[in-house]
Amino acid sequence: MDQLIQTCKQSVLTIYEQFDASHDYAHIERVMKNAEDIMATEDNVDESIIRLAVLLHDIDDAKYKSDANPSAMEILQSIGASKQLTDKIIECIKSVSFSGGNAQAITSIEGAIIRDADRLDAMGAIGIARTFAFGGAKGRKLYDKSESVRSNMSEADYRGRGTASVTHFYEKLLLLKDLMVTEEGKRLAEERHMYMVEFLNQLDREVGR
């Protein structure tokens, strides 16, 4: 299984090199570390599923998917993963996306760990950095005082409007703390959430929001 993971890693490196800094391979490494921290507090976890799912979880992201790159399933098939393993990994990956609050239900502890690990990387100092990196890559405003914060969005609504980076905090990032699933994920999210709140308060003071 270690060889399968290493082969998968080599298969995804060149794909993540094509993404902007908010979703590059460094993001994958951080999510892997988060997943390892959470795994250490859970019993009866299939580590191989988690490691492979983390490596592949952004390959099919609608923001970056390209016909020029293989899908997560195609990569798993190409490296010799069994159908049973492939199905479990794909199911975990499907449960990761926020999608405007319309995330797919979690069906396994592995899915819960991967979702929490990924969401932790959207919070705190790194979450702030990633938000503005993505906004810069997409040519979005830093903030827009006139912009309304949406709630109860459909996935199409969430993906269809290029809101200012600061608005994204209120539409997603500040909601994540209460959406964590694992106990360790909830614990780790607390500090990161408070850091974002402090950042936004300071930003408000500086720009008179």
> How much of the chain exceeds pLDDT 90, in percent?
80
Q: How far apart are CA 52 and CA 193, in angstroms?
A: 28
Structurally, the chain folds into a number of domains equal to 1
Give the CATH number for residue 55: 1.10.3210.50
Question: Which of the two residues, 152 and 48, has the higher pLDDT score?
Answer: 48
Identify the pLDDT of residue 105: 82
Place 145 in a pLDDT band, splitting at 50, 70 and 90.
confident
Identify the pLDDT of residue 13: 96
pLDDT above 80: residue 157: no
Identify the pLDDT of residue 203: 96
Token pair for residue 3? 């060889």
pLDDT in tens, 72-94: 999 999 999 999 999 999 999 99
Would you put residue 99 in left (φ > 0), alpha (ψ -120 to 50) or beta? left
Identify the pLDDT of residue 172: 93
Q: What is the mean pLDDT of residues 143-167?
A: 77
Domain that holds residue 12: 2-207
In SS3 terms, the chain reads as CHHHHHHHHHHHHHHHCCCCCCCCHHHHHHHHHHHHHHHCCCCCCCHHHHHHHHHHCCCCCCCCCCCCCCCHHHHHHHCCCCHHHHHHHHHHHHCCCCHHHCCCCCCCHHHHHHHHHHHHCCCHHHHHHHHHHHHHHCCCCCCCCCCCCCCCCCHHHHHHCCCCHHHHHHHCHHHHHHHCCCHHHHHHHHHHHHHHHHHHHHHHHHHCC
Identify the pLDDT of residue 208: 81
pLDDT above 70: residue 14: yes
pLDDT above 60: residue 100: no
Q: What is the mean pLDDT of residues 159-164?
A: 73
Identify the pLDDT of residue 148: 82
Identify the pLDDT of residue 150: 76
Judge whether 1 and 48 are in contact, CB under 8 Å. Answer: yes
